[in-house]
């Protein structure tokens, strides 16, 4: 059973850079990556192998800062993501890659209008994914890019795509302080997103920093419980001839998470919830994420 703990503990964190990177509302944030999709052990990347992840992300909000009084949003995103961690080594790290395409539904009320939209979002490709594993530490790093293939119309209030490219650098780690069984884990995951110009609007959205963290305890070999949270901040102002919003939005979120490993099916089931607070210049709501990870 100790083998299960040490071998699968890295998997339970479900991929450092495996950012489910989901496009959401322009009124909620400027970039592509949505905080709260990775949780406990988020700083760990799995060992070499092939993995398929199915993310189901729900965001509910009925208020925020500097938004219309009647503002409400329901957004659901489903993502199928393929991840390949190879046996090749770079600087002593396992080398991997992954890609995904999200499917996005949004229903919004704002300023007396009630638009809704379902469509294909922007494609995410991560050509560089590096994982180091030591006795008490895991470290992961990656470079990824968002490709604006999603459905977009500048005349619409909500869109599945964002009509601009984004580059993202990721660095994270997980510390196992409790000995060889790795029953306790503390993780931190940092992502920095650099956005390019939306040519239709002549606006370059500001860059974003996202920090996600988790504290977890392994129970009965196949169950992890813990607390997760995040902080997301726009760190540079929008620019370009069409820019009218020079605010720097931010938000915090915190909540519980439960992970279960179904051994016979080689399937991880992860469920988390986060309550948002401290929102500035953006929406404030509730996030729910159910993630299924299949090991092939």
Helices and strands, number each (H, E), in the chain: 1, 13
- What gap in Å lies between CA 67 and CA 62, rounded to an integer? 10
Give every CB contact of residue 35 below 8 A, 6+ residues apart in sequence.
210, 212, 230, 231, 232, 251, 253, 287
Q: Where are the domains of the chain?
A: 2-218+238-253+276-295
Report which of 293, 50, 62, 38 is spatially closest to residue 172, judged by C-alpha positions: 38
Angle at the Cα of 126 from the Cα atoms of 9 and 279, rounded to 5 degrees: 80
What six digits make up the tokens of 114? 């009630």
Report which of 141, 189, 193 is spatially closest to residue 33, judged by C-alpha positions: 193
Residue 29: pLDDT band by 50, 70, 90 thresholds?
A: low
Q: What is the pLDDT of residues 81-140, one digit of tens each?
A: 999 999 999 999 999 999 999 999 999 998 888 889 899 999 999 999 999 999 999 999
How high is the pLDDT of residue 110? Answer: 87
Which uninterrupted H or E stretch holds 141?
Answer: strand 137-147
- What gap in Å lies between CA 30 and CA 251, rounded to an integer? 12
Question: Phi and psi dihedrals of 221, rounded to 5?
Answer: 70, -40
- What gap in Å lies between CA 159 and CA 28, rounded to an integer? 12
Residue 11: pLDDT band by 50, 70, 90 thresholds?
A: very low
Q: Is the pLDDT of residue 13 over 50?
A: no
Q: What is the pLDDT of residues 228-282, one digit of tens each?
A: 999 999 999 999 998 887 789 999 999 999 999 999 999 999 999 999 999 999 9
State the chain's mean pLDDT as an integer: 88
Q: Is the pLDDT of residue 208 over 80?
A: yes
Could you tell me the pTM of the whole model?
A: 0.87
Report which of 178, 181, 144 is spatially closest to residue 15, judged by C-alpha positions: 144
Task: Collapse the DSSP code of 97 into the 3-class scheme (helix H, G, I; strand E, B; otherwise coil) and give the result.
Answer: strand
- What gap in Å lies between CA 37 and CA 18, rounded to an integer? 9
Q: Is the pLDDT of residue 289 over 90?
A: yes
Residue 181: pLDDT band by 50, 70, 90 thresholds?
A: confident
**Rounded mean pLDDT of 132-155?**
95
């Amino acid at each position: 059973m100790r083998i299960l703990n040490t071998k699968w503990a890295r998997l339970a964190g479900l991929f450092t850079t495996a950012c489910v990177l989901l496009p959401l509302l322009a009124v909620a944030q400027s970039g592509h990556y949505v905080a709260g999709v990775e949780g406990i052990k988020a700083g760990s990347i799995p060992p070499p192998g092939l993995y398929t992840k199915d993310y189901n992300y729900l965001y509910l909000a009925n208020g925020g800062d500097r938004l219309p009084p009647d503002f409400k949003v329901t957004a659901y995103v489903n993502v199928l993501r393929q991840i390949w961690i190879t046996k090749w080594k770079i600087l002593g790290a396992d080398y991997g890659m992954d890609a995904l395409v999200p499917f996005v539904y949004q229903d919004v009320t704002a300023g007396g209008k009630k638009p809704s939209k379902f469509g294909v979002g922007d494609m995410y490709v991560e050509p560089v994914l590096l994982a180091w594993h030591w006795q008490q530490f895991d470290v992961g790093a990656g470079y990824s890019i968002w490709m604006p293939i999603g459905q977009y119309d500048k005349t619409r209030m909500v869109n599945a795509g964002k009509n601009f490219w984004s580059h993202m650098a990721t660095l994270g780690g997980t510390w196992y302080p409790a000995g060889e069984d790795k029953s306790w884990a503390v993780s931190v995951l940092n992502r920095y997103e650099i956005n390019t110009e939306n040519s239709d609007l002549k606006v370059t959205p500001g860059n974003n920093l996202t920090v996600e963290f988790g504290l977890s305890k392994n129970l009965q070999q196949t169950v992890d419980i813990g607390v997760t949270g995040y902080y997301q901040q726009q760190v540079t102002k929008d620019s370009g001839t069409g820019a009218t919003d020079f605010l720097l939005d931010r938000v915090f979120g915190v909540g519980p998470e439960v992970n279960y490993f179904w051994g016979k099916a080689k399937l991880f089931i992860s469920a988390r919830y986060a309550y948002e607070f401290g929102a500035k210049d953006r929406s404030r709501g509730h996030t729910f994420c159910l993630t299924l990870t299949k090991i092939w």
